[in-house]
Structures are given as structure tokens and as C-alpha cells.
Amino acid sequence: MVLPERHPAIPPRRVGVLLVNLGTPDAPDAGAVRRYLGEFLSDRRVVEIPALLWQPILRGIILRTRPAKSAHAYRQVWTDDGSPLAAITKRQAEAVQAGWPDVRVDWAMRYGNPSIPDRLKAMKEGGCERILVAPLYPQYCAATTATVVDKAFETLAAMRWQPALRTLPPYHDDPRYIAALAESVKAQLAALEFEPEAVLASFHGMPQRTLELGDPYHCHCRKTARLLGEALGRELTVTFQSRFGRAKWLEPATDTVLEGLPGKGIKRIAIVAPGFSADCLETLEELAIRGRESFEAAGGERFAYLPCLNDSAPGIDMLRSILATELAGWTDLP
Ligand SMILES: C=CC1=C(C)c2cc3[nH]c(cc4nc(cc5[nH]c(cc1n2)c(C)c5CCC(=O)O)C(CCC(=O)O)=C4C)c(C)c3C=C
Ligand SMILES: [Fe+2]
Ligand SMILES: [Fe+2]
């Protein structure tokens, strides 16, 4: 019988934290985007249409047309470190790790690479017997939070000797998250050369039907925006972006609002995306590039996109603090 060995050079770190975000292609080309979208849009938690109906549409139409268009969008935001979402998630993991020598902090993408199974197995082999899986979505949604948790437990289902698993609950109304957002937004608004007449809070959209089926996502987004507005002392205009397909999605749609504001006399705006832990295609291309273009084309004069918390000091302090709460009893953390 072959026993699993621990490499003597690697100190056993018995508690692990796995930060997980959505996923992204490996390269900004149509082939890599097709592989990524094929995995993402085949997830039954993401597209809730019976597979017999959906797969022919996905394989026959969407994966033939969308990858080239999306690859063009990815090329506009791609960095020397790769996709912004993966690069920032990696930096977040490194920043959380610093100062926590006894905990092993790693990161994964729900779709694409590095995968959840790959990282969970590496953590287990590295000595982690207790792992906190942290989907970096402040607002719970079955299409995001639940599918990360499903994948983690699916990975454990194939293990004889499983690590113990905890999962990070949604933190949409956690005072530490709201305070970090407020601090970041306040500083960014103060640095602007103009006074915005409106501040938009744009969240990723979801089909309206998921709200009717009981998904708390919409309520979580509204509560985050209300609390953030209170902390900032100003009302925020809540919108939902990234509509996909023909079904009715949550409203109001970010693009429609951006096109309509100048006609109502609101020509100077700032926009923030509090639901995204890291800047990505949906913020850097859809909001900061295309959003600005459509606002200005409709007569808008000043537009500022305010970056996400990313690996900023308030963002990392907040993450450390909420992770430490979930690790209580497993390890003592500063
Ligand atoms: C049915 C389609 C989609 C649902 C439902 C959906 C929910 C959802 N997504 C995020 C966060 C992100 N989505 C991102 C990209 C993205 N999303 C969809 C579709 C749905 N999302 C597509 C097709 C894409 C790919 C890009 C494109 O082709 O337009 C990203 C960014 C990924 C990146 O590489 O940067 C994020 C992050 C949330 C939070 C959410 C539900 C609440
Ligand atoms: Fe999405
Ligand atoms: Fe998009």
C-alpha cells in the first residue's frame, strides 16, 4: 500500500483558506473564451433552462458567436499578469496570507483555472485538515455562492480522507464590509475633479425569475446599497448590469439608466460596483469603457468609474477580519 507522503520541506499548515471568484478565460482569444464560457454557461445553477433545450442553443449558437466578441472585450482589459479577475484574486490571497504564517491561503476560480478541485487537493496534500472555502461574493446568489459550495463538496465526495470544510456566509450587510466600501468610495469621490450629481451602485444582474423563486440576491443587493448610502450620507441609484439572453432580468438596467440620466439633466456621475470583490471584465470593460461611452453619447459630461476594493488596504483588512471570524475555534488569528 502506498501512503501519501508530506514533503519534509513544507511545514504542515493544518488550516487552509481558499478564496474563490467566478472564473475567467486563460487567454483573451476566442478559443480560450469558448472553453471558459462552455463550462460556465453549462452550469445548471447559472442557466436554469432544461439541458435538452439549453445545450443545443449554447453549442449551436452562443459558443459560435459570443467568444470572438467577448475575446475582443477581454483584450481591452487584459494585463501583463493576465485576466484582471485572476490577477487581483491572486493578489488578494497573497495579501491575506501575509501576516498569517500558520494558515495556508490559496485561491481558485469556479470556472477555468486554477480550479477548485485542483487547489483543494493541493491544500489537502499540503497538510490542511480544515479548510474555509470563501466565495468572494458579498451578496448570496445560487448562481455564484451556491455553485462554489457545490463544487467544493463535489470535490470532497471523491476523497477517502476528507478535510473538514467550512464555507464563508454572505457578508452583504456586515458592518466591516460596509465600512470598507464607504471608506473606499469616500476617498475616491473626494479625489474627483468634479462633484457628481448622482452616484450609481451597479450590481451584476440576474433573471427576475430567480427573485420570484426565492433567491435572496436582489434583497441582499438592495440592503448593501441602503447601508452604503447611509454610511456615505447620500442616496445611491441602484442598477443591475450584464443582462444575458431574452428573459426579463432585474431592473433597472445599468445601461438604460446611463443612457437616460443626461436627458433628466444629470450630466456628472460616479459609478461603483459594490457586488464585485475584484475588478473584472464586467466592471473595467462594461462599466468603465462601454458605460462611459453610452453615458457620453447620450449627453453626459463627466463620468467616473470607482474601482472595487480589490487588494486595497481597507479591502484586505475587511477580508481578514471576516475570514478570522469564520476560523474561530480552528485557529487564533491576529
Ligand atoms: C446566464 C448568464 C449569467 C448569469 C446568471 C450570471 C450571474 C452572475 N455573474 C456574476 C459575476 C461575473 N460575471 C462575469 C462574466 C460573465 N457573466 C456572464 C453571464 C452570466 N452571469 C457571462 C456570459 C460572462 C462572460 C463575459 C461575457 O461574455 O460577457 C464576471 C467577469 C469574468 C471575468 O473574466 O472578468 C463576473 C465577476 C455574478 C456576481 C452573478 C450573479 C449574481
Ligand atoms: Fe456574470
Ligand atoms: Fe458583461
**2, pLDDT greater than 90:** no
CB of 242 shorter than 6 A to ligand 1: yes
The angle, 0 to 180 degrees and rounded to 10, between the axes of the packed helices 116-125 and 147-156 is 50
Query: Per-residue b/e over 68-79, b at no fewer than 16 CB within 10 Å?
Result: eebbebbeebbe
| Digit-coded pLDDT (tens) for 237-263 | 999 999 999 999 999 999 999 999 999
CA–CA gap between residue 17 and residue 165 (Å, rounded): 10
Strand, helix or coil for residue 126: coil
Q: From ligand 1's centre to the CA of 146, what distance in Å? A: 15
CB of 284 shorter than 6 A to ligand 1: no
- Look up the CATH number of domain 15-171: 3.40.50.1400
CATH 3.40.50.1400 fits 175-306, yes or no: yes
Atom 37, ligand 1: which residue's CA is nearest?
22
Q: How far is CA 75 from CA 22, 63, 222, 268, 288, in A?
A: 18, 18, 32, 28, 14
**334, pLDDT greater than 80:** no
**Amino acid 178: pLDDT:** 98
In 3D space, the residue among 246, 134, 167, 254 whose CA is nearest the CA of residue 205 turns out to be: 254
Q: From ligand 2's centre to the CA of 204, what distance in Å? A: 7
Q: Which helix (H) or strand (E) holds 8?
A: none
CB of 210 shorter than 6 A to ligand 1: no
Grid cell for residue 115: 480550479
Q: Which helix (H) or strand (E) holds 21?
A: strand 15-23
Do 15-171 and 175-306 show the same overall fold? yes
pTM value surpassing 0.80:
yes
**309, pLDDT greater than 60:** yes
- Sequence spans of domains, the chain: 15-171, 175-306
Q: From ligand 3's centre to the CA of 242, what distance in Å? A: 4
Bridge partners for 249 per DSSP: 207
Which ipTM did the prediction report? 0.97
Q: From ligand 2's centre to the CA of 218, what distance in Å? A: 15
**66, pLDDT greater than 60:** yes
**4, pLDDT greater than 90:** no
Ligand nearest to the CA of 27: 1
CA–CA gap between residue 75 and residue 191 (Å, rounded): 29
**13, pLDDT greater than 80:** no
CB of 280 shorter than 6 A to ligand 1: yes
CA–CA gap between residue 93 and residue 87 (Å, rounded): 10
> Residue 30 in contact with residue 62, Cβ under 8 Å?
no
**Amino acid 6: pLDDT:** 52
Average pLDDT, the chain: 96
Mutate to test the pocket of ligand 1, among 64, 145, 204 (most ligand atoms within 8 A of CB): 204
CB within 5 A of ion ligand 3: which residues?
242, 282, 286
**Amino acid 62: pLDDT:** 97
**Amino acid 8: pLDDT:** 53
What is the share, in percent, of the chain residues with pLDDT greater than 90?
93
**Amino acid 99: pLDDT:** 84
For 297, residues 6+ apart whose C-beta sits below 8 A from its C-beta are 259
**190, pLDDT greater than 80:** yes
CA–CA gap between residue 255 and residue 291 (Å, rounded): 7
| Digit-coded pLDDT (tens) for 120-164 | 999 999 999 999 999 999 999 999 999 999 999 999 999 999 999
User: Is 39 annotated in some ligand binding site?
Assistant: no
| Digit-coded pLDDT (tens) for 86-123 | 999 999 999 999 989 899 999 999 999 999 999 999 99
Q: Tell me how many degrees the CA angle 210-26-84 measures, rounded to the nearest 5.
A: 70
Q: How many CB atoms are closer than 10 A to CB 246?
A: 6
